[in-house]
Amino acid sequence: MNATLSRKMDDNYMDSTLMFCINPDYLNDLADKNKEIYSQAMPFPHIIIDNFLPEPVLDKILEEFPKPGSIDWQKFNAAQEKKLASKSELQMGEAIRLLLYQLNSSTFIEFLEQLTGIDGIIPDPHFTGGGLHQIERGGYLKIHADFNRHKKLRLDRRLNLLLYLNKDWQEEYGGHFEMWDKDMTKCYKKILPIFNRCVIFSTTDFSYHGHPEPLTCPEGRTRKSLALYYYSNGRPSEEVSDGHSTLFRAKPEEKLAQKPSSGMILKTISNKLIPPIFIDAKNFLGNKLLSNK
C-alpha cells in the first residue's frame, strides 16, 4: 500500500464518527439497577431512561437526520397521519448508521437480555418497521399493539426501543407516548418525547401504545425518533397467537363517539318494524291529497 493512500485512510478514520462505542460497563450497571423496575412496570414491562447517550453523539445524529422532503420517506395511512419512516441505510448518515449498528450489536443484546429477562434476543438487520421516524405538525399515531411476527426472519417480536431526538421539546407541543392497559380503559403513562430519552418495552398482543393526540408543535418542527425492534425464536406459551399486522384500538371516548345516537337507533328500529308497503301507501295518499287541492 503506498504512503499517500495509507495517509488518506488514516485521515478518514480519525475524522470518522466511528470513534464512539457504547460502554459495556455502563450498560451492565444500567441493567442491574433497572431489571426489577422493568419487570414490575405497568401496564406492561418497560423502562424510561433519560440522558441515555452522550449528547455530542446525538447532536451529530440530529445534524444528519433527514428533513421531511429531503429523502424518499415511507408514508403511512390515516391511522398514522403524517408519520414518515425510513429503514434504508442508503438514506442514513454515518453517525446514524453507526448507532443503529451498535444498538443491534452483541454487547447491546446482552444488555437487553439482562434488563428484560428475555433470553435469545435477535436483532433485525433490516430495521423492518423501524429506523428513522418523524411526525409533522398535526400528525398522530393511534393506540395499537404491534405486528407480532417478522415475515422475512420468521421470528417473534419481543421488544421495542425508541430513542427521541427532540431538543427543547415543550409540554404544549404534545406528541406524548401513551401506554394503555389491556382492556383499553386507562392510560397508565404519558411520556414526553424529549431529547435523549430512551423507552424500552416488551411487546405482546396487549401492549397498547401510541401518541393519539395531534402534534401542536410549531410549523417546521417534527417529532423525531430512532426505532429498533428485537425478536426471539418462539415466545412464552401464554403470549402465542396467530400472526397479525398492527392492531389499532379505540380509546374510551372514541368508542362513545362511534356509537349511534338514540335518534338514529329509533329511526332504524321504526324502519325495521313498519312494513315498506305501509310507508309507500302513506306517501301515495299524501301525494293524492296534494294533487286534489
pTM of the model: 0.81
Domain covering 18-251, topology: Jelly Rolls (2.60.120)
- The full set of domain ranges for the chain reads 18-251, 260-292
* pLDDT for residue 59: 96
pLDDT reported for residue 150: 94
Euclidean distance between CA atoms 67 and 232, whole angstroms: 34
What residue ranges of the chain have pLDDT lower than 50? 1-15, 17, 262, 265-270, 272-293
Give the other-Cβ count within 10 Å of 29's Cβ.
12
88 exposure class (CB count in 10 Å sphere: 0-12, 13-18, 19+): middle
The confidence score (pLDDT) of residue 134 equals 96
Rounded to the nearest 5°, which phi and psi values hold at 175? 75, 20
Choose among 79, 81, 99: nearest CA to 89: 99
pLDDT score for 76 = 75
